[in-house]
Structure 1
Amino acid sequence: MSPTFAAHVAAPCSVIDDCAVARSIADRWQDIVRGIRDEYLDHTHRFPWVIGFSGGKDSTVVAHGVFEALLSVPPSQRTREVHVVSNDTMVESPVVIAHLDVVTKRIKEAAENLDLPITVARTQPDPDKTFWVLLIGKGYPSPNLTMRWCTDRLKIQPTSGYIKRNISQYGAAIVVLGVRRDESQSRQRSIDKRMNDRGTNLTPHGDLTGAFIYRPIVDLTTDDVWEILGSYHAPWGGNHQDLFQLYRDAEGGECPVVLSQTEAPGCGTKSSRFGCWTCTVVEKDKSLQGFIDSGSHHFKPLVEFRDWLKSIRNNPEMRQAYRRNGRLAFDATGKHIPGPFTVQARKLILDNLLRVQEEFGGQLITEAELDLIYQYWTTDLQNEKGLSDE
């Protein structure tokens, strides 16, 4: 555990200097909540807010701040809709999705009881664009850094679709994100090159017409975030100790909310450790391995399957010569680029996945996905037979 993280799990301050820091954080946090309240009450527009909620530390602080701000607004003025939207790729880390289930349920129930205009929603990829349907059904090779087909289909399209539906209904939408300059140098560059519209706290979204970005915690440091989470009870009930435990066990950070390809490098890199348990873009799944090391040994079959899936990617015996469009592909040097996994390889992957699912004891693939996979296999085998008969 890092010294920074450990400091915020410790007991409240007991010396003058520590308490001075705590008061400073408290003042800054109240400034942020007031700023969120003022932004919510801005009468120049009434566009809905869409909070990108991953369940990690940054998006939790944002949701916490918005919830607190709404509680300070008179009921008659709570006229702007707020959507707390999480994304389920359907191959999320089981630990993270379980945490997300608990927290979003608490937010939903508290919002209903307190009569707050909050809608809790979760997006998923289209049925024909899930990880297993594309990989096992169509034979897409395991994602890597140069062919990361998963991010767009599993993350960007579902959440962007939700935002677009709000834009269509209201004319525009405000996307509230927990991005911070302190996250990384690349994040700081990305934030600094996108200036707010003059006289506002909003930045036009680079890819979604009609969407604007609001970043209420952009200037908080990681230390600040942990300090806030450790100092305040969750306004929807309980505290944030489950989140502390999640990070303590995994020693990692969440995969961020991704809304465009320019933000995609945050997914499947060293900077993101809570993500899809199937992620073959990273060398090792540090997060799940962290949970195993912390005693959750039932995750071991998942890590072993992921490692195997990564290892077979470039096995020529597992890949078709032709792409799905029926063409051969070559790189700039003239080297042949293999096509999708063969149907035989896909069957092997599915057999192994079903074995792991039984060993793990939780659902890893749905019946709807299996139906689509079998349909794609039937079509591909018929096409192969047609080619062999020519």
Structure 2
Amino acid sequence: MSSIELEVLNSDDVVVRWQSVVSEVREEYLSETQHFPWIIGFSGGKDSTLVAHAVFEALLSVPPSARNREVHIVSNDTQVESPFVMLHLDEVTSKIRQAAEDLDLPITVARTHPDLDKTFWTLLIGKGYPSPNQSMRWCTDRLKIMPTSGYIKKHISNFGAAIVVLGVRRAESNKRQQTIDAHKNLRASRLNEHSEISGAYIYRPIVDMTTDEVWETLGTFHAPWGGSHGALFKLYRDAEGGECPVVLSKEEAPGCGTSNSRFGCWTCTVVEKDRSLQGYIDSGNHQYRPLVDFRDWLKSIRNDPERRQAVRRNGRLTFDLTGRHIPGPFTIQARKEILEKLLSTQTEFGSKLISDAELDLIHEIWAKDLQQETGAANGL
């Protein structure tokens, strides 16, 4: 029986365990050793939802006069997220924002995005970056790490440091356990120094919970911002479970785009098969079929030599250690083909998949590339 099919009972064990987690979060929030802001990495999945739930409850247990530490619930929109995940994320963050305002809690709900010149479509269709794969996963850094890290660094600059509160758990995978164990807590503290962001510290309030315990807790307690977590259960059931985690460093990047991380970008060509979208289609949501078809086609053309330039964008020929030629970006003709296919998919899907600003920038990049190619052909 899978975790999301558990019949969750309001047992004493669940209640005691959860009270202990909330009590620890409250104690950490009230720590007198530092008052740096908390930044919760919120993907909308089960683990980050449980962490936000714990922090919300902890804040409600603190007298208003003692709520002096800012809390930021920050989600990242790569702009190619699975549409059904974004719908859920929008609904939950809207409820959290409204409840925080009504209850006068020091919570800011924020959403980060990649810069226009670093979006998936700008790089893939504009500059011709080949579709990401395991050996060339350029998307994670530009779409996920940089936007969220920028938000964290801004607050470090304002306050001297920031505490990043994450829903990572040892039970997620062997790789995650190794990463957690590699970073020892600061002396007499629950915090770890972030491996790449100076001035950032990591706090993991549910690090020792199992997956079943997470689901039991979510099923037992109502969401403190109103309602239940029922929509989250349904999301996992329909999409066959699993979400791409919040990624803040390159060492955490392997968790993005793997067989264990199924909620992510609908364009993800790193995975062999998009299990979440296919699961949603199998659950009766056939409107997502055009997205799967586009993604599969994009993956299939990646290594077509007819669609790739011989040289890289810097004009150099590249070879690996065996002497094998490594092709450059997609040709401009291939990029135009991809855009035409995307716009056709957008029409069939019935919702915007690429912004007007991205389209404008893509055409600017093409114009410059064509000018350079013409100049090179003429020996200029």
Normalising by structure 1, report the TM-score.
0.96
Shift of 1:102: 0.3
Q: What is the match of residue 4 of structure 1?
A: 3
Q: Deviations over 1:230-282 (max 9, x none)?
A: 00110001110000000000112110000000000000111100000000000
Specify which of 252, 266, 274 is matched with residue 241 of structure 2.
252
Shift of 1:25: 1.5
Q: What is the match of residue 333 of structure 1?
A: 322
Equivalent runs, 1:257-296 vs 2, <5 Å = 257-296=246-285
2:196 is the counterpart of 1:207: yes
2:182 is the counterpart of 1:227: no
Shift of 1:189: 1.0
CA distance in 2, matches of 1:34, 1:373: 51
Q: Deviations over 1:103-149 (max 9, x none)?
A: 00000000000000000000000110000000000000000000000
CA distance in 1, matches of 2:3, 2:130: 39
Q: What is the match of residue 297 of structure 1?
A: 286
CA distance in 1, matches of 2:182, 2:136: 27
- Residue 4 of structure 1 aligns with an amino acid whose one-letter code is S
Shift of 1:3: 3.4
Aligned residue pair count? 379
CA distance in 2, matches of 1:281, 1:349: 18
Q: What is the match of residue 22 of structure 2?
A: 33
SS of structure 2 residue aligned to 1:111: helix
CA distance in 2, matches of 1:101, 1:336: 45
Q: What is the match of residue 65 of structure 2?
A: 76
Equivalent runs, 1:1-390 vs 2, <5 Å = 2-7=1-6, 10=7, 13=9, 22-390=11-379
Normalising by structure 2, report the TM-score.
0.99
Shift of 1:192: 1.0
- Residue 329 of structure 2 aligns with an amino acid whose one-letter code is P
Q: Deviations over 1:164-192 (max 9, x none)?
A: 00000000000000010111111111111
CA distance in 1, matches of 2:147, 2:192: 22
CA distance in 2, matches of 1:5, 1:167: 37
CA distance in 2, matches of 1:349, 1:208: 36
Q: CA RMSD in A?
A: 0.8
Q: Deviations over 1:17-45 (max 9, x none)?
A: xx6xx211110100110100000000111
CA distance in 1, matches of 2:354, 2:18: 42
Structure 1 residue runs of 5 or longer lacking an equivalent are 14-18
CA distance in 2, matches of 1:186, 1:375: 42
CA distance in 2, matches of 1:174, 1:369: 34
Shift of 1:159: 0.2
Shift of 1:387: 1.1
- Residue 138 of structure 1 aligns with an amino acid whose one-letter code is K
